[in-house]
Amino acid sequence: MQSFSDFINELTTGFTPVIGGEYKNEDYAYIDLSENNRDLLRLEVASSEAFSIFIGEFLKNRKAKAAYGGYNELRTLYNRSELFNNAEANRNIHIGLDVWVPAFSDIISPLAGTIHSYRDNDNFGDYGPTIILEHLEKGRTFYTLYGHLSRNSLVHLNEGDEVKAGEKIAELGDFDENGDYAPHLHFQIMENMNGNTGDFPGVVKKEDLENYLKNCPDPNLLLKI
């Protein structure tokens, strides 16, 4: 059988947006938020306001409107939250794609699907409001996750509702409702949900990484930013 990552890659032939509005492919700039980015050493990562300023300066310097990146990225910024930084968890490798745009930006589905589940994961440092879609393409079922949304995005949702490709499904939340982050979308693809609803790990431990990377391929294979 064709690998899941190859299958995802072949679903699109060019730039496929997940952010609504007038954003073009050339409006995006790749950002490195790994432990290798020395600029993060001067940043108060526990402050969502400071991080928002950092992202704003990055975009200004790059003459870009949106920043993206983060797949399979080892990050120290999760040390601020007990959700990740404790003896049991120790999770610091990010397996989704982050897209940094202003709060309340429209989020659109890159593919047709149905609403699988949704939840407000309201722990500090968590996703906040989250939507998961189920997709069936070429006889193969898989899922996409949209995290750090506004709470208003979860109102009037029903599991099983149909979603069209390119349809608005949500809007981004601000720091006071998105898990206390600078506004951004966490976008992730999963082949199997492993029994999860309304939530799925987006940051994992090194010893679990290989299995998660197989189940959660690079989302940019689909988006092609």
CATH number of 23's domain: 2.70.70.10
Q: What is the model's pTM?
A: 0.93
CA 193 from centre of chain? 16
Greatest C-alpha distance within the chain? 49
Q: What is the model's pLDDT at position 79? A: 54
Q: What is the model's pLDDT at position 80? A: 46
Q: What is the model's pLDDT at position 81? A: 46
DSSP conformation class of 172: B
DSSP conformation class of 178: T
- For residue 31, give its domain range: 4-223
User: Residue 188's beta-bridge partner residues?
Assistant: 145
Residue type at 92 in one-letter notation:
N
Can you read off the two tokens belonging to residue 49? 């306001």
Sign for the pseudo-dihedral over CA of 93, 95, 101, 103 = negative
Q: What is the model's pLDDT at position 118? A: 99
Only one residue has tokens 């990050």, namely 75
Nearest by Cα to 29 from 69, 57, 56, 1: 69
Nearest by Cα to 56 from 105, 104, 101: 101
User: Residue 121's beta-bridge partner residues?
Assistant: 128
Q: What is the model's pLDDT at position 88? A: 52
Q: What is the model's pLDDT at position 83? A: 46
Q: What is the model's pLDDT at position 42? A: 75
Can you read off the two tokens belonging to residue 65? 């409107």
Can you read off the two tokens belonging to residue 131? 């939507």
Averaged over successive runs of 10 residues, the pLDDT of the chain (225 residues) comes to 96 98 97 88 76 95 98 77 52 94 98 99 93 98 99 97 98 94 97 98 94 98 99
Residue type at 169 in one-letter notation:
I
Q: What is the model's pLDDT at position 1? A: 86
Q: What is the model's pLDDT at position 89? A: 56
3-state secondary structure of 73: strand
Q: What is the model's pLDDT at position 91? A: 76
Q: What is the model's pLDDT at position 78? A: 58
Q: What is the model's pLDDT at position 85? A: 52
Strand ranges inside the chain, DSSP E = 28-30, 66-69, 73-74, 93-94, 97-100, 106-108, 113-121, 128-137, 140-147, 162-163, 168-171, 185-190, 203-204
How many domains does one find in the chain? Answer: 1
